[in-house]
Copies of this chain bind each other. A is one copy, B any other.
Amino acid sequence: MGIHTYFRSLNDLERIIRTPGKFKFEEHCVSAHSWKVVQYAKTLADIEEQHGVSIDWKKLYEITSSHDYGEIFIGDIKTPVKHYSLELRSMLLHVEEAMVEHFINENIPEEFKDIFRRQLREGKDDTVEGLILEVADKMDQVYEAFAELQRGNTEKEFIVMYRYALVKIKNIDLHCVRYFLNNILPDIIEEGIRSPFDIRKITEEALSQ
């Protein structure tokens, strides 16, 4: 049809649940996750600007808000599958891109095709905007896993997720990462003291890797 098909499809992401198959005290849909990534990224970019870094806000807007749109076509494939082998990972990425391209060709009017191709591309490149997206995406994994651990969820997957996301974040060289590690993470640990898990220890192990 046209832009209507795209607008209508956005609703689908409310029905794709993150971390499928694991017990969770609270479920999160991909739309809500996407919104939180948009919000984190905004503040992270503000921190970069405070340190004199120049931000392309249009690009940041585009890549953060659409970064999981492709899951409409492939679903929330489990992380271990994505990382099973470099070959499979690149093939899955290729399929996702091909399906997005197919969707654009079928539905998006000619005058918007280039815009949508740019917006729905994989945004995690090495620019400051791409790196901020990566940090914001992983930060939501930290918060999702933290909330489950804090409530006493004993699924090991959430310790793995918390640790993995922290390791990813700490290895990115941005002002906002340093702010997160120095000013936000201590508050998370502080809030987690009532958890049956030793969140401080899990955090320190992750940071020392």
Contact = CB atoms under 8 A, between A and B. Distances in A.
A50 B21 CA distance: 32
Nearest to A81: B74
Contacts of A152: 151-152, 194
Contacts of A72: 21
Nearest to A50: B111
Interface string A53-69: 00101101110011000
Contact of A23 (B26, B35, B78, B191): B26
Interface string A147-178: 10011111000000000000000000000000
A130 interface: no
Q: What's the dominant secondary structure at chain A's contact region?
A: helix
A14 interface: yes
Contacts of A21: 12-13, 15-16, 71-72, 75
Contacts of A147: 11, 23
A143 B39 contact: no
A181 interface: no
B29 A10 contact: no
